Structure 1
């Protein structure tokens, strides 16, 4: 992994069903951030019981590089797993080049778990892109919670968004994301709806108004809305569907662990139910 380039967009190719979506999302982000793409493949454990079949995970024209035999069998050795990973990385690079992607593309092939691999690239990257259904034993929450880097989780297919919903809750992670949104070119061209779910009181109204003003001062086209509702997940999804918003954004795990234990985590609920790409800003 010594070839890791700073400020890259890291495309995690761990999920066969989402490889193409992850690459499409990574190219979208790379163009906006003017950043190279690091194609990350973490070789699955030999102890992994379920077979992982990458055959047909990408639509490319070169029929000589098909992944018909790209299946992890129970008795395969490390060398076979490594060869399969290199084949996947080769085809992923070919897909990006065929899509006329202009930014630099390079491969990161690790014989380690996905969580360990993400931990390695975390501090030096601009953005990490994950498929919604990861194949490793870790859940999305377990991968995202310790991250220092913004993470984009995508379903398949990835559709470039024209607008985004920023779920603002006035917690520390929301303010960190607000600071980042005011500076990053990633979503600058999008129309941003800053939405707060909570009681319509002076504190919430003032916090939302100030956050909205900061986005406007940064040159971002945005709208604001306070939704007086108890169910945060339902309110955000309803608003997103009503306004046909293609990207959800929020701070990640802004509640205390005790409150999460007692009330559950809004981040986990949104991760489990959102049907659009979801951009999360880390708590760390």
Structure 2
């Protein structure tokens, strides 16, 4: 079974960027591209639904009208989703993707993505979905739940696309980030792109040895890379380095290596998710 770049689109302002980054990844990985729209059946109750207070004489008639209204609402949602998928397919074809696919599924997003995990090579989704709060640092609960549930790389993207040229890897020497370095070295996704490996902590001999290993691993793969060890608070230090070096994309491990965090998104990752204004690739 082929593993696809799976792009989640909805009615939010992120869908265009999701499409563009998914096309970028699909073409670099030479992997098939699938656009996915999930219709959540757990819709919030409509205002003015007083079915529980309906009198006996009219109760059956009004309940039928409410059921009919739900059916119409579901049909409209399906049609809107189909229209969004058609637009994404056309955009991908215009950018040179020969046979992009589209899937519309009913159900809950995290459960649907878990079901499709075996078909997914890379998951691309926006920082916030259409139902998320609009505050600039808010990360919708769906995104954090997806990160916890999935065992595939996840590319979380901002609202606008920028062709990645300079990629920063947040490296802590732990098992997950060492595995991430090896994944990057073996993947065609970043060929020809400049890398910055950044460790946050004191520049002691142990840190330097770990950084040298990471630099050597990527250089042996033919990638251009430079490294730095910075002192300071992790999230603020990474953000400062990003801004100083005009970084286009950040790569992180989705979890810290503390056992206490094994079921939770690491605190640094959560902070970066909240404040990210560039794509964030989370490696598992």
Identify the TM-score tier after normalising by the shorter chain. Answer: 0.7 to 0.9
Question: Is residue 110 of structure 2 the alignment partner of residue 115 of structure 1?
Answer: yes
Q: Which moved more, 1:132-141 or 1:183-192?
A: 132-141
How far apart are 1:132 and its partner, in Å?
0.7
Residue in 2 that maps onto 1:228: 231
Q: Distance in 2 between matches of 1:236 and 1:168?
A: 10
Q: Deviations over 1:146-200 (max 9, x none)?
A: 2111110000111111110000011121012111101111112210001111121
RMSD of the TM alignment (CA)?
A: 2.4
Q: Structure 2 regions of 5+ residues with no counterpart?
A: 47-68, 132-139
Aligned residues: 254
Residue in 2 that maps onto 1:216: 219
Give the one of 163, 168, 179 matched to 1:160: 163
Residue in 2 that maps onto 1:37: 33
Contact preservation (8 Å) 1:38, 1:108? yes
Q: Structure 1 regions of 5+ residues with no counterpart?
A: 51-72
Q: Distance in 2 between matches of 1:217 and 1:225?
A: 19
Residue in 1 that maps onto 2:251: 249
Question: Is residue 136 of structure 2 the alignment partner of residue 133 of structure 1?
Answer: no
Q: Aligned to 2:141, what secondary structure does the other structure show? A: coil
How far apart are 1:259 and its partner, in Å?
5.7
Normalising by structure 1, we get a TM-score of 0.82
* Inter-CA distance 6–138: structure 2 relative to 1 (3 Å threshold): farther
How far apart are 1:20 and its partner, in Å?
0.4
Query: Which structure's residues are more often helix, by fraction?
Result: 2
Which structure has the bigger radius of gyration? 2
Q: Aligned to 2:91, what secondary structure does the other structure show? A: helix
Counterparts in 2 of 1:141-220, with a 5 A limit? 141-220=144-223
